[in-house]
């Protein structure tokens, strides 16, 4: 047998879900080094390891989280609280933590938390992540970890803070991420923390550097009230934090205005978009090649918002994907949980579309769909192996979504990251 067979790895499962074509019963996935070479029925020269009653999925892609909150056992505050109250609690906790620790300790603590978050992502079958980072990541990393787009968080309403945030962005892009599996992006945080001028400058900078932009937008009714009338609970909360600057946002501005500006970035992830209107979906649909919305069902439910218009936005041509958001407003970093939640609560969304929302479409949101997000020869061997229920289901998607079966193991660029609790062998 030629030597090259020694470097080929293969897995067999009852079902393989390539993501870009129908599921394959009794399927095999094979790869050499980090690259897929075969995805199809169990035949041919491969001697696959058998995963049994399991499904092999493309590695899941989580385009929105804040890994710096990965140490939280439960979300901040109480379910159903108002969003401005929640964000104020977060800011106060962050300020207290920074004041109580030396800068160096704080940086070390942040990084430990992020690494714990990445480990949780791998256990959840996630191999590609979009992370919002208050501080840059250090160069060090684990031997195998998900690819991370590090979106540097930028905050500044007042002129001086906005200028400092812009200089932070420039320095961050000049320095790069200093790690082979991390890439830079910018995150002007949200309309209530970023001046219009800072956002304009960030978009121009992203365009010049060719990096993606992620921005929280139309997340709460209070945000819309702030934009429409420069009044309401957000102004009160920002005043309490000494962070409100009257006149910093153009009066009567709408999320649509933000979308039209963000459309100039090379790639944009609109985070949440819970309260966007159909004419704003149209803007997103017109720019579907470069703009995506990331719906985070855990956070959406935490604040008690109504039904998210998944099917309606998809029908309008909006590129949608699913994210977990952080543990500050979501129970954990499992992406399968929100995928299953959508599959069970949105009967008007096709089950194969649900898989794409957490794989291919999420990879496309990050601009990584040429490398990952579906199982195709030539792409990376990023795989999630998920247990299937003992009961028989006539439809493989039903088997995948019906019960909360666990992720058994994850392969990241061809290398296995075993969960010691759930070793297959
Ligand atoms: Zn967020």
pLDDT at residue 2 is higher than 70: no
Instruction: Categorise residue 216: left if φ over 0, alpha if ψ from -120 to 50, beta otherwise.
Output: beta
Dist. CA 101 → ligand 1 center (Å): 24
Q: Report the pLDDT value the prediction gives residue 419, as an integer from 0 to 100.
A: 55
pLDDT digits (tens, 9 = 90+) for 264-310: 999 999 999 999 999 999 999 999 999 999 999 998 998 889 999 99
Dist. CA 37 → ligand 1 center (Å): 36
Handedness of CA 384, 385, 388, 394 (dihedral sign): positive
Dist. CA 296 → ligand 1 center (Å): 9
pLDDT at residue 158 is higher than 80: yes
Instruction: Give the mean pLDDT of 55-71.
Output: 94
> How far is 280 from 254, CA to CA, in rounded Å?
9
What is the separation, in whole angstroms, between the first and last Cα of the chain? Answer: 26
Selected residue with higher pLDDT from 240 and 255: 255
Selected residue with higher pLDDT from 86 and 200: 200
Q: Which residues contact 202 (CB under 8 A, 6 or more apart)?
A: 154, 166, 169, 186, 188, 194, 213
pLDDT at residue 421 is higher than 50: no
What is each CA distance from 218 to 64, 249, 254, 373, in whole angstroms?
Answer: 15, 15, 9, 27
Instruction: Give the mean pLDDT of 217-246.
Output: 90
Dist. CA 214 → ligand 1 center (Å): 9
**Nearest Cα to Cα of residue 373 among 365, 388, 384, 362:** 362
Dist. CA 31 → ligand 1 center (Å): 35
pLDDT at residue 331 is higher than 90: no
Fold designation for 60-365 = TIM Barrel (3.20.20)
Out of 2-6, 8-12, 172-176, pick the least confident.
2-6
Which option is the CATH number for 3-59+374-422: 2.30.40.10, 2.40.50.140, 2.60.120.10, 3.30.450.90?
2.30.40.10
Q: Which residues contact 57 (CB under 8 A, 6 or more apart)?
A: 17, 19, 125, 355, 359, 375, 383, 384, 385, 386, 400
Dist. CA 260 → ligand 1 center (Å): 21
Dist. CA 194 → ligand 1 center (Å): 14
Mean pLDDT of the chain: 91
**Is 346 within 8 Å of 319 (Cβ atoms)?**
no
The residue whose two tokens read 């400092």 is 164
Selected residue with higher pLDDT from 310 and 252: 310
**Is 97 within 8 Å of 87 (Cβ atoms)?**
no
What's the half-sphere exposure (Cβ side, CA atoms, 13 Å) at 110?
20
Q: Report the pLDDT value the prediction gives residue 73, as an integer from 0 to 100.
A: 79
Dist. CA 390 → ligand 1 center (Å): 36
Q: Which residues contact 191 (CB under 8 A, 6 or more apart)?
A: 217, 223, 226, 227, 249, 253, 255, 258
Q: Report the pLDDT value the prediction gives residue 342, as an integer from 0 to 100.
A: 96
pLDDT digits (tens, 9 = 90+) for 97-115: 666 666 677 778 888 888 8
Dist. CA 328 → ligand 1 center (Å): 9
At residue 360 the predicted structure's pLDDT band, cuts being 50, 70 and 90, is very high
Q: Which residues contact 103 (CB under 8 A, 6 or more apart)?
A: none
Q: Which residues contact 175 (CB under 8 A, 6 or more apart)?
A: 136
Instruction: Give the mean pLDDT of 180-186.
Output: 94
Q: Report the pLDDT value the prediction gives residue 178, as an integer from 0 to 100.
A: 82
Dist. CA 381 → ligand 1 center (Å): 28
Selected residue with higher pLDDT from 43 and 424: 43
Q: Report the pLDDT value the prediction gives residue 4, as an integer from 0 to 100.
A: 60
Q: Report the pLDDT value the prediction gives residue 100, as an integer from 0 to 100.
A: 67
Dist. CA 6 → ligand 1 center (Å): 44
Selected residue with higher pLDDT from 334 and 102: 334
pLDDT digits (tens, 9 = 90+) for 120-149: 999 999 999 999 998 888 877 777 889 999
Instruction: Give the mean pLDDT of 357-367.
Output: 98
Dist. CA 49 → ligand 1 center (Å): 39
Selected residue with higher pLDDT from 73 and 164: 164
Dist. CA 131 → ligand 1 center (Å): 9
191: tokens are 């309309």
> How far is 36 from 346, CA to CA, in rounded Å?
33
> How far is 382 from 358, CA to CA, in rounded Å?
13
Nearest-5° angle of CA 44, CA 46, CA 51? Answer: 115
Q: Report the pLDDT value the prediction gives residue 6, as an integer from 0 to 100.
A: 67
Dist. CA 14 → ligand 1 center (Å): 36
Selected residue with higher pLDDT from 252 and 163: 163
- Boundaries of every domain in the chain: 3-59+374-422, 60-365
Q: Report the pLDDT value the prediction gives residue 101, as an integer from 0 to 100.
A: 64
Dist. CA 66 → ligand 1 center (Å): 6
Out of 138-142, 222-226, 259-263, 384-388, pick the least confident.
138-142
CA 124 to chain centre: 13
Dist. CA 406 → ligand 1 center (Å): 25
Q: Is residue 36 packed enough to be buried (19+ CB in 10 Å), middle (13-18) or exposed (0-12)? A: buried
**Nearest Cα to Cα of residue 330 among 125, 159, 25, 121:** 121
Dist. CA 375 → ligand 1 center (Å): 28
Dist. CA 130 → ligand 1 center (Å): 10
Task: Decide: helix, strand or coil at residue 5.
Answer: helix
Dist. CA 51 → ligand 1 center (Å): 35
Dist. CA 19 → ligand 1 center (Å): 26
> How far is 307 from 305, CA to CA, in rounded Å?
7
């Amino acid at each position: 047998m030629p030597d090259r067979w020694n470097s080929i790895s293969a897995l067999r499962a009852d079902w393989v879900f390539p993501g870009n074509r129908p599921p394959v019963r009794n399927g095999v996935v094979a790869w050499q080094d980090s690259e897929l070479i075969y995805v199809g029925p169990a035949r041919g020269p491969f001697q696959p390891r058998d995963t049994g009653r399991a499904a092999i999925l493309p590695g899941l892609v989580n385009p929105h989280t804040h890994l710096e909150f990965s140490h939280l056992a439960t979300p901040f505050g109480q379910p159903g609280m108002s969003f401005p109250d929640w964000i104020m609690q977060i800011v106060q906790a962050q300020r207290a933590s920074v004041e109580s620790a030396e800068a160096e300790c704080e940086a070390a603590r942040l990084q430990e938390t992020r690494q714990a978050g990445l480990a949780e992502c791998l256990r959840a079958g996630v191999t590609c992540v979009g992370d919002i980072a208050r501080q840059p990541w250090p160069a060090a990393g684990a031997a195998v970890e998900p690819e991370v787009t590090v979106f540097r968080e930028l905050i500044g309403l007042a002129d001086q803070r906005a200028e400092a945030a812009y200089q932070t962005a420039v320095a961050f892009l000049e320095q790069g991420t200093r790690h082979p599996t991390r890439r830079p992006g910018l995150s002007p945080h949200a309309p209530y923390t970023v001046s219009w001028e800072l956002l304009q400058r960030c978009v121009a900078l992203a365009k010049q550097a060719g990096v993606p932009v992620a921005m929280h937008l139309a997340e709460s009714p209070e945000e819309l009230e702030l934009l429409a009338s420069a009044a309401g609970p957000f102004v009160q909360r920002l005043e309490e934090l000494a962070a409100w600057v009257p006149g910093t946002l153009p009066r009567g501005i709408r999320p649509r205005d933000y979308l039209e500006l963000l459309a100039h970035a090379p790639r944009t992830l609109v985070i949440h978009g819970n309260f966007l209107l159909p004419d704003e979906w149209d803007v997103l649909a017109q720019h579907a090649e470069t703009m995506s919305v990331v719906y985070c069902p855990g956070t959406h439910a935490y604040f008690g918002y109504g039904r998210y218009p998944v099917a309606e936005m998809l029908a309008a041509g909006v590129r949608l994907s699913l994210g977990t958001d952080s543990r500050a407003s979501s129970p954990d970093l499992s992406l399968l949980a929100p995928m299953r939640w959508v599959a069970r609560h949105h009967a008007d969304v096709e089950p194969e579309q649900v898989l794409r929302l957490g794989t291919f479409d999420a990879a496309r949101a990050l601009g990584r769909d040429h490398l990952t997000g579906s199982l195709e020869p030539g792409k990376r061997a990023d795989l999630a192996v998920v247990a299937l229920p003992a009961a028989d289901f006539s439809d493989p998607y039903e088997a995948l979504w019906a019960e909360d079966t666990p992720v058994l193991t994850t392969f990241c660029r061809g290398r296995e990251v075993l969960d010691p609790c759930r070793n297959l062998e």
